[in-house]
Amino acid sequence: MSKAINLPVDLPQLSQFRDLRDKLAEACSLLERADGFNASQSALALVFTLFQELAYQAEAGSPVGLLQKKAVGGIAERLTSFARGVEPGGFMAALLQSNWLTPQGEDYFCPRFKDMNLTLGEFSSQNTRGAFARAFAIKLQRVDGEAMQLGMNLLPKVLVDEQGQPLDETTSLRVTRIILLCDKALGLGERQSYSISEGLIQNALKVVRKFENPAIDAVLRKVTMKRKHPMFNGMRTDRLLEQFEKIAGEV
């Protein structure tokens, strides 16, 4: 399917856009006087980010124009550099007050996006996501052997806990296993033993202490199918491990 997103050609001239700009300015204590804050630029970034998220969700099978509640935090997180004086909740408040979004149950709906991007609903990414899922299932069958081989190539000083004590064999295997699975879920290249640091081991150790393997597999299966989402764009394994618990609640 086409990856193009339709936006209003006259976006800055729309009264709805001006309302959004004004609401953002009200929400930012700095207004346009300091710290590089510019309400118009922030409003443009907010609309684009909103439409990008809605396009992804439509591609993933959601009704065109529906914004799931769990995606709201990710939108605010990606916009903090544009409007540092706006609190995360201020973005959603501005979108709602300027009628870019309307509540729909626990989620939100954007009528303008639906009107301009109806064709997104004519396509389905079921085949693509199904292919990702099948590929991940094959990788799961092989990962234990790969993790064991990787662990054998690691220096003992790397496979330690926070106190520098050596990890037992079972924990070592689980730690190397989740590192490899994160690589695969993110579509990264083959992992070499020299690229595994003690810090990466520590991040992985924190996750395997909180999650059993079936739960880890379930989360990373979803990451695999959603790795084109902006929240995973450019993400590396160390960051995925650091944010694993948060991501587990969002995917």
Asked whether the predicted pLDDT for residue 122 surpasses 70, the reply is: no
Give the tokens for residue 22.
């004004």
As a whole number, mean pLDDT of residues 234-246 equals 92
What is the gyration radius of the CA atoms in the chain, in angstroms?
22
The alpha carbon of 96 is separated from its chain's Cα centroid by a whole number of angstroms, namely: 23
pLDDT in tens, 67-121: 988 888 778 777 765 555 566 677 888 999 999 999 998 899 999 999 888 777 5
pLDDT on residue 249: 84
Asked whether the predicted pLDDT for residue 167 surpasses 60, the reply is: yes
Is the CATH code 3.90.660 the one for domain 11-122? no
pLDDT in tens, 39-74: 888 889 889 989 988 888 887 667 889 998 888 877
pLDDT on residue 101: 95
φ, ψ for residue 234, nearest 5 deg: 75, 5
Residues of the chain with pLDDT > 70, as a percent, come to: 86
Query: 61, 60, 64: which is closest to 109 by C-alpha?
Result: 64
φ, ψ for residue 107, nearest 5 deg: -105, -165
Residues of the chain with CATH 1.10.10: 11-122
Beta-carbon contacts of residue 112 (< 8 Å; ≥ 6 apart): 8, 16, 100
pLDDT on residue 123: 47
* 107 sits in which H/E element: strand 107-109
Asked whether the predicted pLDDT for residue 125 surpasses 70, the reply is: no
Most confident of 29-33, 193-197, 238-242: 238-242
DSSP codes of every residue in 163-200: TSPBPPHHHHHHHHHHHHHHHHHTT--PPPGGG--HHH
Pairwise CA distance, residues 238 & 222, whole Å: 18
